[in-house]
Amino acid sequence: MEISNSEREEGRSSLIYRYITGQFPHNYIPTTLNPCDVNVDVAGRAVKLTIVDGHDDGEPHLMRTQQYRTADVVAICFGLDHERSLWHIESRIIEEVRELGRRDLPIIVVGCKTDIRGEVQRKLTDGNIGKTIVQSADITYALQRIGAALYVECSSLDNAGVDEVFQHAARLALYPPQVPPNKRECVVC
């Protein structure tokens, strides 16, 4: 399982760290975590998942493409507070996957940092419109264009929806969708 970011700082490494350790990395987290193996229960069946923290933009493109070549499922993170990161999923990451001829590779799009919804709402109520959140309509539109199999949201800070990301990934790796990406209806969880 490969976990990518459309940009940096979208919460990818924190998501993996939270899932593996049960803690949120408040103080420090390396840019890229080492790959790790976990066992995920899918309807009573143990699925071994190797989680690979994808390489950021600064890293060689070759490294990322090599990871996509061998992955069974890719989860791509974007920050719910960062609209541009959603659009970059298609322009950058998906292009790389397509270039490899891996059009059928199941893709999960992960909207990270759901906890900031509350913060943004509070600021709006106080008349501060400085910080915005990515709109649902924009997410729906992007998911169709990406041909994502699944959309999930999580907050590593609040530990909400984190386990589900990996549950869904294991299930998709085990039972990849049979419908081609351009005909796929993205499941929103």
Phi, psi of 4 (to 5 degrees): -115, 170
Q: Which does 2 bind (CB under 5 to 8 A by kind): ligand GDP, Mg ion, none?
A: none
User: Is position 12 an interface residue for ligand GDP (rule: CB under 6 A)?
Assistant: yes
Query: How many residues in the shown chain lie near ligand GDP by CB under 6 A?
Result: 16
Q: Which does 157 bind (CB under 5 to 8 A by kind): Mg ion, ligand GDP, none?
A: ligand GDP
**Shortest distance, CB of residue 39 to Mg ion, whole angstroms?**
24
User: Is position 14 an interface residue for ligand GDP (rule: CB under 6 A)?
Assistant: yes
Are 106 and 177 within 8 A, CB to CB? Answer: yes
Sheet with 150-154, edge to edge strand ranges: 36-42, 45-53, 2-5, 74-79, 107-112, 150-154, 187-188
C-beta of 77 vs 150, nearer to ligand GDP = 77
User: Is position 88 an interface residue for ligand GDP (rule: CB under 6 A)?
Assistant: no
- Of the CA atoms within 13 Å of residue 35, those in its CB half-sphere come to 12
Are 135 and 126 within 8 A, CB to CB? Answer: no
Are 51 and 85 within 8 A, CB to CB? Answer: no
> Number of helices and strands (H, E) in the chain?
7, 7
User: Is position 155 an interface residue for ligand GDP (rule: CB under 6 A)?
Assistant: yes
C-beta of 29 vs 42, nearer to ligand GDP = 29
Neighbours of 17 (CB within 10 A): 19
Residue of 47, 56, 45 lying closest to 9 (CA atoms): 56
**Shortest distance, CB of residue 32 to Mg ion, whole angstroms?**
6
C-beta of 23 vs 31, nearer to Mg ion = 31
Q: Which does 86 bind (CB under 5 to 8 A by kind): ligand GDP, Mg ion, none?
A: none
C-beta of 22 vs 28, nearer to Mg ion = 28
Interface residues with ligand GDP (CB under 6 A) are 5, 8-14, 29, 112-113, 115-116, 155-157
